[in-house]
Amino acid sequence: MSEEMNSRSIVIGERLKKAREALGYTQEKVAEKLNIGRPRYSDIENGKRDIPLKELYSFCEFFGRPLEYFLKEKLAVDSGFKVLFRKTEGDQEVAKVITEFETLCEKMYTLEEIADIKIRPSISKDYAYEKDRLLFWGKFYAKQERQRLNLGQASIRNLDQILEEKCALKIFYLPIPAERGIFGMFTYDEEMGGCVLINTNANFGKQLFSLAHEYAHFIFHKERLGIVSSEKEKDTSDESLADNFAGDFLMPEESVNDIFNIRIKNRKDLTAEDTIYFAEYFGVSFQAMVYRLNNLKLLSNDMKEKLISETWVNTVRRSMGISEPESRPKFSSLYFHLCLKAYQQNKITTSKLAEFLELPLYQAMELGRKIKRSVQDDECLDNF
DNA sequence: TCGCTGCTGGGGCGCGAAAA
DNA sequence: TTTTCGCGCCCCAGCAGCGA
């Protein structure tokens, strides 16, 4: 084996090991699935044996990773996902989602490199807090962040765009099986910056809340390599702080009070219709709105319990002319923009464009033609 | 203690080069 | 053209070390 081949085999072997451990498989299981002997697979992982291209494709397919993952000299997220992997040990469905999340982050990083645009968070502020005053600090920093980002008191439905543009967060959307109780994930890496994954199986209101929640992790808990925001962990102090922050950030007390005073005035308690109106105004879920109104003492405990148990909320929403928006694209507008920019500058081929956007080649060719014809970036974005 | 991993030795198989 | 030989690759069995 030549020296070059040897170093390549070592890199591939290390990536194979990471990919295998990410899915919680043993060497024996992988070897069995791929129909090779375990010692041979062990040798491959240890870089002692070169891998034929055909076999490498099988590995890509089996681990759900692009070929680049095994061949690239340097990965952006070589260390950043380790903790996430450990946290989801044994749950291969979730492990697969995380693998896809990692792949998306890696693609984003590659695109930034190709387009020569490195977008990194500029936050250097110290977000210190005391663990016994989480309500206070959540509210305090939510207000500060709104000011810092010039958001005023208005509702922020386009939070993903704001966080991408102003905080350089990388945001992706993927479905995670509902029964796992996972709403979002966050990971941070010096090289990559902050990366967020939102579960698209939740409704849009819940997704917005999860995004604000993950943003809280970004500002408070960057030192933790990976965070899975789930039902199981909701009572931990980090999760409580993130929830408090998200509630205050999305539904500022002043705004809620203002609307309450205009709409409700002299009435004794809110109705389900009122709560739906509030939720729609702030873009959050009905449930989040109920809890927020209750926390602000604008909704009695009895009414809170009654509203939370209601099953006809969606029927009322529809009768009020409110419908759930269509499904969300997996990629952010920034990711899409970087793809188009790289293609426009002839830095990626049509097949690469297809790969980055996960499109069939013919669609990528059509898009490519539009990009080439188009004079302005915006025009081609609108046309697609 | 058990499961996982790394490592070694023995043996089989296929392929290419050299010899008959 | 056929046979032989060397080499590389592979599999299997088994042992030792490590960590939970």
Model confidence pLDDT, tens digit, residues A132-162: 788 888 888 999 888 888 888 888 878 888 8
What is the structure's pLDDT at A83?
A: 47
Strands A182-189 and A170-174: unpaired
Is the pLDDT higher at A182 or at A325? Answer: A182
Which range of A12-26, A194-208, A221-235, A319-333 scores highest in mean pLDDT? It is A194-208
Give the Cα separation of A83 and A77 in Å (integer): 12
Q: Which nucleotide is nearest to A1 (CA to C1')?
A: C8
Give the Cα separation of A347 and A373 in Å (integer): 17
Give the Cα separation of A177 and A2 in Å (integer): 46
Model confidence pLDDT, tens digit, residues A74-97: 666 655 455 454 455 556 677 778
Least confident of A221-230, A241-250, A330-339, A375-384: A375-384
Q: Where are the beta strands (DSSP E) in A160-263?
A: 170-174, 182-189, 193-199, 226-230
Is the pLDDT higher at A21 or at A255? Answer: A255
Is the pLDDT higher at A213 or at A105? Answer: A213
Q: List, in order, residues 6 or more apart from A196 with CB less than 8 Å away.
A: A163, A169, A170, A171, A172, A184, A185, A186, A211, A214, A215, A218
Give the Cα separation of A350 and A352 in Å (integer): 5
Strand C and chain A: which residues 46-75 have CB closer than 7 Å? Answer: 49-50, 52
Give the Cα separation of A16 and A63 in Å (integer): 8
Model confidence pLDDT, tens digit, residues A4-41: 445 666 777 777 777 777 666 667 777 777 767 666 77
Amino acid A40 CA to nucleotide C9 C1' distance, rounded Å? 10
Give the Cα separation of A347 and A65 in Å (integer): 22
Strand B and chain A: which residues 26-85 have CB closer than 7 Å? Answer: 26-28, 38-39, 42, 45-46, 48
Q: Which nucleotide is nearest to A28 (CA to C1')?
A: B4
What is the structure's pLDDT at A98?
A: 80
| Residues across chain A | 384
Burial A89-99 (b: 16+ CB within 10 A, else e): eeeeebbbbbb
Tell me: pLDDT of A3 over 50: no
Q: Is residue A211 very low, low, confident or very high in pLDDT (cuts 50, 70, 90)? A: very high
Amino acid A3 CA to nucleotide C6 C1' distance, rounded Å? 24
Cα–Cα distances in angstroms (integers) from residue A293 to residues A35, A105, A206, A256, A267, in the given order: 58, 36, 16, 8, 15
What is the structure's pLDDT at A226?
A: 61
On whether the CB atoms of residues A304 and A288 are closer than 8 A, the answer is no
What is the structure's pLDDT at A232?
A: 64
Cα–Cα distances in angstroms (integers) from residue A310 to residues A286, A292, A297, A302, in the given order: 10, 17, 20, 13
Model confidence pLDDT, tens digit, residues A274-323: 888 888 888 888 888 888 888 888 888 888 888 877 666 666 766 666 66
What average pLDDT does range A160-166 have in this prediction?
86
Q: List, in order, residues 6 or more apart from A320 with CB less than 8 Å away.
A: A273, A276, A277, A280
Q: Is residue A384 very low, low, confident or very high in pLDDT (cuts 50, 70, 90)? A: very low
For residue A129, give the 3-state DSSP assignment.
coil
Beta-ladder partners of A71: none
Cα–Cα distances in angstroms (integers) from residue A328 to residues A198, A271, A378, in the given order: 11, 30, 20
What is the structure's pLDDT at A84?
A: 53
Chain B: nucleotides below 7 Å from protein CB are 3-9
Q: Is residue A125 very low, low, confident or very high in pLDDT (cuts 50, 70, 90)? A: low
Beta-ladder partners of A182: A230
What's the whole-model pTM score? 0.75
What is the structure's pLDDT at A4?
A: 46
What is the structure's pLDDT at A383?
A: 45
Model confidence pLDDT, tens digit, residues A323-341: 666 667 778 888 888 888 8
Give A88-113 as a 3 state SS string: CCCCHHHHHHHHHHHHHHHHHHHHHH
